[in-house]
């Protein structure tokens, strides 16, 4: 174990090791609902990476940026760890600077190429997904999938016009009437999409049923 950590924290694997830790933490946060992954309009040009050009050739823009970056970092880490292990076990002396640079370049290149190959089938899945306009989801009932929905975070599943179940980022409205119980927004609760926030690119939701003494929020 100590030898493995020594390799992982040496150059060049260390370049990817810290990135890999961030990747693992990110996807764990996604699983428990602490972070959002926008799967609606993943090819939106406002994301900042266009489908064409240099990055588009490696899958950026065809699938969510975090997916491709995660693949690139993971594959690069594997290549550099294996490469460093081979260099250390080789009988022939290789200058550390030369071997480290060569392994790093291999990690970057193989990682990028591997990300491109692995995102091809994913890109087809996203291309085949039904395109749903934001306005089409307003007024629909959805089910909360994160621990809860707050002003800053939350996700819910909704069925679009084509009958497909999609995951959307949802938020409570800052203009929500006082007295709305937080329990109405916990996991598995049903909420209604009443508006779309263009600035933050999230859907605003209210509970399906308000208590009788609370006025319903108007869009």
212 pLDDT higher than 70: no
How would residue 39 be classed by pLDDT, with cut points 50, 70 and 90? very low
CATH class of the domain defined by 134-207: mainly beta
Burial class (CB in 10 A: 0-12, 13-18, 19+), 177: middle
Q: Identify the pLDDT of residue 62.
A: 61
Among 8-12, 33-37, 141-145, 162-166, name the one with the lowest average pLDDT.
33-37
Check: CB of residue 38 under 8 Å from CB of residue 64. yes
3-state secondary structure of 196: strand
218: pLDDT confidence band, cut at 50, 70 and 90?
very low
* Residue spans per domain, the chain: 2-128, 134-207
Predicted confidence at residue 93, as pLDDT, reads 77
Mean pLDDT of the chain: 79
133 compared with 54, residue with greater pLDDT: 133
CA-based Rg of the chain, rounded to a whole angstrom?
A: 23
Q: pLDDT tens, 164-188?
A: 788 899 999 998 888 888 999 999 9
pLDDT of 58: 56
DSSP letter, residue 63: B
Question: pLDDT of 148-168, one tens digit each?
Answer: 999 999 999 998 777 778 889
More confident site: 88 or 215: 88
217 half-sphere exposure, CB direction, 13 A CA radius: 23
Q: Would you place residue 123 in the very low, low, confident or very high pLDDT band (cuts 50, 70, 90)?
A: low
Residue 57 tokens, joined: 């050739």
Q: What is the mean pLDDT of residues 207-213?
A: 68
Query: Cα separation of 149 and 130, whole Å?
Result: 26
pLDDT of residue 94: 78
pLDDT of residue 36: 52
Residues 6+ apart with CB under 8 A from 144: 154, 155, 156, 170, 185, 186, 187, 188, 189, 190, 191
Nearest alpha-carbon partner for 38 in 63, 73, 70:
63
Residue 47's pLDDT is: 37
41-97 tens-digit pLDDT: 334 433 334 444 555 555 555 677 788 889 999 999 999 999 999 998 887 777 888
């Amino acid at each position: 174990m100590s030898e493995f950590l020594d390799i992982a924290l040496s150059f060049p694997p260390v370049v990817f090791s810290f990135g890999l830790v961030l990747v693992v933490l990110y996807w764990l946060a996604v699983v428990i609902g602490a972070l959002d992954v926008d799967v609606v309009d993943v090819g939106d040009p406002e994301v900042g990476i266009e489908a064409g050009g240099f990055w588009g050739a490696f899958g950026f823009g065809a699938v969510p940026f975090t997916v491709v970056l995660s693949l690139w970092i993971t594959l690069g880490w594997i290549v550099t760890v294996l490469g460093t292990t081979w260099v250390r076990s080789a009988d022939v002396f290789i200058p550390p600077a030369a071997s480290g640079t060569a392994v790093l370049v291999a990690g970057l290149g193989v990682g990028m190429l591997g990300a491109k190959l692995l995102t091809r089938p994913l890109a087809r899945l996203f291309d085949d997904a039904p395109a749903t306009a934001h306005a089409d989801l307003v007024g629909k009932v959805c089910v909360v999938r994160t621990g809860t929905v707050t002003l800053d975070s939350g996700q819910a599943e909704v069925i679009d016009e084509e009958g497909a179940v999609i995951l959307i980022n949802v938020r409570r409205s800052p203009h929500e009437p006082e007295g709305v119980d937080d329990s109405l927004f916990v996991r598995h609760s049903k909420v209604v999409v009443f508006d779309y926030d263009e600035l933050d690119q999230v859907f605003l939701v209210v509970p399906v049923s308000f208590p009788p003494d609370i006025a319903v929020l108007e869009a």
